[in-house]
Amino acid sequence: MSESLMPRALVLGSTSRYRRELLSRFRLPFETASPDVDETPQPGESPAALALRLALAKAHAVAALFPEAIVIGSDQVADLHGQPLGKPMVHDKAVAQLRAMSGQSMQFHTAVAVVCKASGFAQADTAVVRTVFRPLDDAEIERYLLAETPYDCAGSAKSEGLGITLLDAIESDDPTALIGLPLIRTARLLRAAGLVLP
């Protein structure tokens, strides 16, 4: 096979173990690279706009390092009544997030971008997941956080683990979006970029 017909390398522009595990479902070889992107929201930026901007920024940042590759960037922002909730990183912030989310309906915006610098391809899409948290008391919140320590998750809960017990409902047209990478949309973008999926 000539070099011009060789399939492009695939790079996941993320150090998230959740995204790495999800992308491995496609059974394609891929590398990972850390995108150096400032994730600070811009003044007045909505959670949906923030997720989309960061997914594109991450994909473009890593594509600059791997210009011949097809690069995936992704970002998730929890949206509580229009206010973005990031990763709590520490216990006290996670407690505060879960108290605020108790009994509330909220959305998670999970954006994915696919970029190939060499071909000029750049497209993005966002999956919206609506969740309803059941009313939570402080003892439940404490038990959950000590059991699962979800401090690296936007919104302080892992729906793929014990966090599912905190919820009354999840609604989405892309079931892996809440975990961190909407695979239906990712597959669609990768095919559009010229990658052959099994």
| Residues catalogued as catalytic | 75
Tokens matching residue 156: 């302080």
* β-bridge partners, 71: 11, 115
Which residue blocks in 78-154 are alpha helix, DSSP H? Answer: 91-101, 138-148
List of E strands, the chain: 10-12, 31-32, 70-80, 83-85, 105-116, 121-133, 167-171
Any idea which residue has 């999926």 for tokens? 197
Dihedral of the CA atoms 112, 124, 105, 179 (nearest 10)?
-10
Residues 78 and 154 sit within 8 Å (Cβ to Cβ)? yes
Rounded Cα distance between 37 and 53, Å, is 11
Q: Is 100 helix (H, G, I), strand (E, B) or coil?
A: helix
Amino acid found at 39: E
